Amino acid sequence: MDCSYFDAGVCRSCTLMGVPYGEQLARKDRHARDLLAPYGDAAWLPPVASAESGYRNKAKMVVSGTADAPTFGILDEAGRGVDLRECGICAPGVRAALPVLASFVTRTRIEPYSVPERRGELKYVLVTHSPDDELMVRFVVRTEAAVDRIRARLDELLAALPTAVVVTANLQPEHKAVVEGEKEIVLTPQSSLVMRVGGIPLRLRPQSFFQTNTAVAESLYGQVTEWVDQVSPSSVWDLYCGVGGFALNVAAPGRRVVGVETSTEAVRSARATAAAAGLPHVAFRTGDATAFALAAKTAPELVIVNPPRRGIGAELSSWLEGSGVPSIVYSSCNPTSLAHDLARMPSYRIRAGRVLDMFPQTGHLEVAVLLDRV
C-alpha cells in the first residue's frame, strides 16, 4: 500500500507503511509465537491476513481549521489540523462521507475547536461504516448550542449523505485529552447501527466498542466459536464482552452464556441483538469483569476474555488460576500483556493459538489462544 500522507511526513501513524504486507504478517506471527512459546507447546494455526487498505470501519477525525475550511484528521505538534480525509486504511464508505461532513460543518457554521487557543465548538467527527454500507456519524461538540445547529440542518445532511442512518451529538465541554463525554444525544429515529458479522446482526450503539476491522473480526469470532465447540462447555462467561460478539456467536442449545461489560450502551446493544435473535440462554450484565468473577458463587466450564491492551491484570488472573475453570479462550490486542497474564496462571497451557491481523500497516495485532488447565 502507498500513502501520500506518509511519504510527505505529515502522518506516521502507520509505522509499517512501505513494508511488504507478507513480511508484516510474518513478523507479527513470529513475534506472537516467540513471546508465548514458554506457555505451552501450542498448535499454531496460520495467521489470518487482512486487506492491506480500506479495512478500518471507523474513523476518529479531529476537526480543526475554520468553519470555512475545516480539516478532518489529526493535529501536528503545534496543535494545528492536518487533513487526512483521503486516508487509505479507512473503508471507502467512510472516505466518501468525509467531504460531505466537512461541507456540512461549513454550512452549519460550527467553529472547529482550536486546542492551542482553547476556543471553538466541534472537536471530533466519528464515522462508523457497516457491512450493509450504512453509517453512524457522531459529532463531538462542547455545547448544546452546537447540537441545536446540527439538529436544525439535519435533513440537509441526511439528504446529502443517505447512508447515515444514525446521527448523534456527544457533549464534551472540557479541555482535556478525552475524545467524548458521557452525554450522547441521538438525533435520528434509529439509534443503533447494524453490523452483520458471521451471520449475526450485532447492534452497535454510540459509545459501544467494536473491532475496527470487520472482516478480521468475523474470522476471530469464527475461530473462537470453533474452539468453544471443540470444548463443548455447558456454561460460558464472556468477560469484557463489548456488544456481545463472542457471547452471541458461541451460543448453542443447552449452553448458558453470560456476557459482562462495563459499558451500559454496549450491554443494551448486546441484549437487543440477543432478543432479536431469539437467544434466551444468553444474558448480559453491566459491571466490572473482575468484580463479577470474584462475586460469583460458581464458576463456568469455559471463560472467554477479550480485555483492553493492559490485559486482565493480577486480580482476575489470580482468580482464574484458583477457579478450577477447565478452559479459557483469551483474545488479546497486546501479546505482551497476554504473556504477563499467562505467567500468573501456571496451571494453564496454550493448546492452540492464532494471530489475526486486525491492524495492517501498523505494529499492532490480535492474537487468540485456547488454554487448557493441566
CB of 143 closer than 8 Å to CB of 171:
yes
Q: Confirm if 56 and 123 have CB atoms less than 8 A apart.
A: no
> What is the residue whose three cell numbers read 478450577?
324
Q: Identify the DSSP state of 360.
A: T
* The pLDDT of residue 25: 98
Looking at residue 288, its amino acid is D
Task: Considering the candidates 3, 90, 241, 333, report the single residue annotated as catalytic.
Answer: 333
The pLDDT of residue 133: 97
CB neighbours (10 Å) of residue 133? 11
Per-residue CA distances from 68 to 30, 73, 345 (Å): 49, 16, 57
Enter the DSSP assignment of 362: S
SS3 26: helix
User: What does the pLDDT read at residue 318?
Assistant: 97
pLDDT at position 209 is: 87
**According to the model, what pLDDT value does residue 134 have?**
98
Residue 111: per-residue pLDDT: 97
Cell of residue 234, nine digits? 455447558
Q: Which three cell numbers stand for residue 250?
A: 458461541
pLDDT in tens, the chain (374 residues): 999 999 999 999 999 999 999 999 999 999 999 999 999 988 899 999 999 999 999 999 999 999 999 999 999 999 999 999 999 999 999 999 999 999 999 999 999 999 999 999 999 999 999 999 999 999 999 999 999 999 999 999 999 999 999 999 999 999 888 899 999 999 999 999 999 998 899 999 998 889 999 999 999 999 999 999 999 999 999 999 999 999 999 999 999 999 999 999 999 999 999 999 899 899 999 999 999 999 999 999 999 999 999 999 999 999 999 999 999 999 999 999 999 999 999 999 999 999 999 999 999 999 999 999 99
- What angle (nearest 5°) sits at the alpha carbon of residue 50, between those of residues 45 and 53? 165
Helix (H, G, I), strand (E, B) or coil at 310: coil
- In a 10 Å sphere around its CB, with 0-12 CB exposed, 13-18 middle and 19+ buried, how is residue 368 labelled? buried
Closest by Cα among 8, 138, 177, 5 to 83 = 5
Burial class for 84, CB neighbours closer than 10 Å (0-12, 13-18, 19+): buried
- Alpha-carbon torsion (49, 54, 59, 65), positive or negative: positive
- Stated as kind and residue range, the H or E segment containing 223 is helix 214-231
Q: How many Cα atoms are found within 13 Å in the side-chain-facing hemisphere of 171?
A: 11
324 CB-contact burial (10 Å; exposed 0-12 / middle 13-18 / buried 19+):
exposed
CA distance 32 to 80: 37
- The whole-model pTM stands at 0.94
Judge contact between 5 and 11, C-beta under 8 A. yes
Task: Please name the residue that has the C-alpha cell 483469551.
Answer: 330
Whole-number Å distance between alpha carbons of 49 and 356: 7
Task: Give the residue carrying C-alpha cell 440542518.
Answer: 153
- Pairing mode of beta strands 122-129, 135-141: antiparallel
Determine whether 333 is an active site residue. Answer: yes
Which residue is it, cell 463456568?
300
pLDDT for 14 equals 96
Q: Which helix (H) or strand (E) holds 250?
A: helix 245-250
Cell readout for 334 is 497486546
Q: For the chain, report the end-to-end CA distance as a whole number of angstroms.
A: 44
The pairing of beta strand 302-305 with beta strand 235-239 = parallel
Please name the residue that has the C-alpha cell 466459536. 225
